[in-house]
Amino acid sequence: ITADNQSKTYGAALPTLTASYTGFVNGDDATSLSTAPVLSTLATAASSVAGSPYAITASGAADNNYAITYSPATLTVGQANLTITADNQSKTYGAALPTLTASYTGFVNGDDANNLNAAPVLSTPATAASPVATYTISASSAVDPNYNINYALGTLTVGQAALTITADNQSKTCGAALPTLTASYTGFVNGD
């Protein structure tokens, strides 16, 4: 009786354990055994990729017509898919960059971002001085052996700063030429 090899994704339920049989005669099959074999593994839904493969064993079968021997198999645990998406952000021209954050899709077994061996690095080419436009926010460098990690970009939208232009009050004497008209500015940023 040979336990069949199996595979599953990290966090998924254990597959049904099965066995193959060699040596039946007289039209016998697995249903002819007095006692069916018990198939077992120490792996669980929460078993990690790092411990893979896990042994699958068969035991306990009985039938007076057969001298039963067993061959083990393996259960291979593969990585679950995890997508890390940089969250969209916005800021005003001249303001400091906002804190860059990410969202996660695909965690299993109660895992969250705190379970990653290395957290993602979030970055954007924008700075406080970047002009009004849309910039990418990217995530990279996250590490965890239980996950096949993919990334999705976010955007940083830089909006206009408020600028107030106030015409300066002026005065002149009757009959005199007009004074030079001037204005005052409130709201410039980035040394503008």
For residue 22, give the nearest of 66, 75, 55 by alpha carbon.
66
CA dist 124 and 86 (Å) reads 10
CA dist 60 and 176 (Å) reads 116
Q: Are 10 and 78 in contact (CB under 8 A)?
A: yes
Q: What is the structure's pLDDT at 61?
A: 97
- The distance in angstroms from the start CA to the end CA of the chain is 81
Q: What is the structure's pLDDT at 97?
A: 97
135-172 b/e (C-beta count within 10 Å ≥ 16 → b):
bebbbeebebebbebebeebebebeebeeeeeeeeeee
pLDDT category of residue 177 using cuts at 50, 70 and 90: very high
* pLDDT tens digits along 106-139: 999 999 999 999 999 999 999 999 999 999 999 9
Q: What is the structure's pLDDT at 93?
A: 97
Q: What is the structure's pLDDT at 132?
A: 97
Is the pTM higher than 0.75?
Answer: yes
CB atoms within 10 A of CB 123: 14
* pLDDT tens digits along 162-172: 999 999 999 99
pLDDT category of residue 1 using cuts at 50, 70 and 90: very high
pLDDT category of residue 26 using cuts at 50, 70 and 90: very high
Q: What is the structure's pLDDT at 118?
A: 97
* pLDDT tens digits along 10-22: 999 999 999 999 9
Q: What is the structure's pLDDT at 88?
A: 98
